[in-house]
Amino acid sequence: MASILITGCAGFIGSHLAERLLLDGHRVVGLDNFDPFYDRTIKEQNLATCRANPRFSFHEADLRHGLDALVDALPADPVDLVVHLAAKAGVGPSVKEPVAYLENNVLGTTHLLEWMRQRGISKLFFASSSSVYGNTRQQPFREDMNLLGACISPYAASKLSGEQLTYTYHHLYGLDVLNARFFTVFGPRQRPDLAIHKFVRLLRAGQPIPVFGDGSTARDYTFVLDTVDGISRGVDYLLSHQGVYETINLGNNQPVPLLALIQAVGQAVGIEPQLAFEAMQAGDVDVTYADISKARQLLDYAPRTSLADGLQAFVAWLDAPLVTIKERVTPQQ
């Protein structure tokens, strides 16, 4: 088994991944800066299960602060592979704070890559985003599409820049890399600013749900455990292969229109939604739609959780956040 560093370990995806890799028998080193984008206590709760495992250690540090901060924060114990999830997330907020997104996602990633090079760590799983495809007309989105001019938000630009950096380090220093473009991950522990989380709060408060545009925009919603399974398979692939540089989509291959999502959330909560139509938000794309054939070929990746089952799991977590995730969802077979 390997020793794996997860940046952004206390977040939504990172905490689920840490639990999965520990179950797989790995040693996990967690790193997070507890960005104040949302309450630190939520992230601390995310880590509760991991902290009880003797194969887990955690360190607080900010990637923006350079190599010295990483050297000071991280022990000299061997790290075989890095899963880089840490990022300032969100399309809309990035339009308002572009510099902060570039500092976190581009400069922070550069500091991490340099730390890896100096430590002699040669394996990287990099979390990218479906936002890099922008409003590309060809659907579903394939990894080999030309993305020149596709990014329409600072967040998207920062993620595509991260991919370019990983290629540079692969080319110059022999870093083995798997870039994974995530597609609208949802489920228990989802950030409170994201749509599904907000929709449930509004429904229970008897307030209307804002619909940006005419409701036809669609997202390829992917349940968090399916995404985590893809990452785990990617980790195994990197550990067992040399000379790797690949980019894959980790999506669900089933875009869901916004109005259909709102109805599904209403059914999960048991409340009929009221709608309030508003103008489209700057930086938002019309559709995300993953071609997952490459991930299936390389990793045998196959998402199994339906939107309805995933929403039920999310609502159950909101009502009982300490219930273990295995008790909340039974994926489709």
Residues in the chain: 333
The pTM assigned to this predicted structure is 0.94
CATH number for the domain whose boundaries are 3-327: 3.40.50.720
Q: Average pLDDT, stretch 56-68?
A: 94
- The tally of CA atoms less than 13 A away on the side-chain side of residue 284 is 17
Omega prior to 140 cis, within 30 of 0:
yes
* pLDDT computed for residue 69 by the predictor: 87
Q: Is 301 a known active-site residue? A: no
Residue 203 confidence (pLDDT) above 80? yes
Higher pLDDT, 17 or 282: 17
Cα–Cα distance measured from residue 208 to residue 277, given in angstroms and rounded to the nearest whole number: 9
Instruction: Give per-residue pLDDT as tens, 153-198.
Output: 999 999 999 999 999 999 999 999 999 999 999 999 999 888 999 9
Q: What is the mean pLDDT of residues 44-62?
A: 95
As a whole number, mean pLDDT of residues 276-287 equals: 86
Q: Quick one: pLDDT at residue 332?
A: 37
Contacts of residue 123, Cβ cutoff 8 Å, sequence gap at least 6: 80, 81, 82, 175, 176, 238, 239
Which are the contacts of 248, defined by CB distance < 8 A and separation ≥ 6?
A: 143, 178, 179, 180, 181, 230, 234, 292, 294, 295, 298, 299, 301
What percent of the chain has pLDDT above 70? 96
Catalytic residue, candidates 101, 133, 155, 237: 155
Mean pLDDT of the chain: 93
Could you state, in order of their start, the residue ranges of all structural domains in the chain?
Answer: 3-327
Computed over its alpha carbons, how large is the radius of gyration of the chain? 19
Q: What's the burial of 243, exposed, middle or buried (CB within 10 Å: 0-12/13-18/19+)?
A: exposed
> What's the pLDDT tens digit per position in 135-149?
998 999 999 999 998
Give the model's pLDDT for residue 331: 37
**Could you read off the pLDDT of 206-233 as tens digits, one per residue?**
999 999 888 899 999 999 999 999 999 9
What DSSP designation does 327 have? G
pLDDT tops 70 at residue 298: yes
Q: For residue 7, what pLDDT is reported? A: 98
Please state, as a whole number, how many other Cβ atoms lie within 10 Å of the Cβ of residue 34. Answer: 16
Average pLDDT over residues 112-119: 96
Task: Say what the pLDDT of residue 322 is.
Answer: 57
Does residue 277 sit in helix, strand or coil?
strand
Is residue 327 pLDDT above 90, yes or no?
no
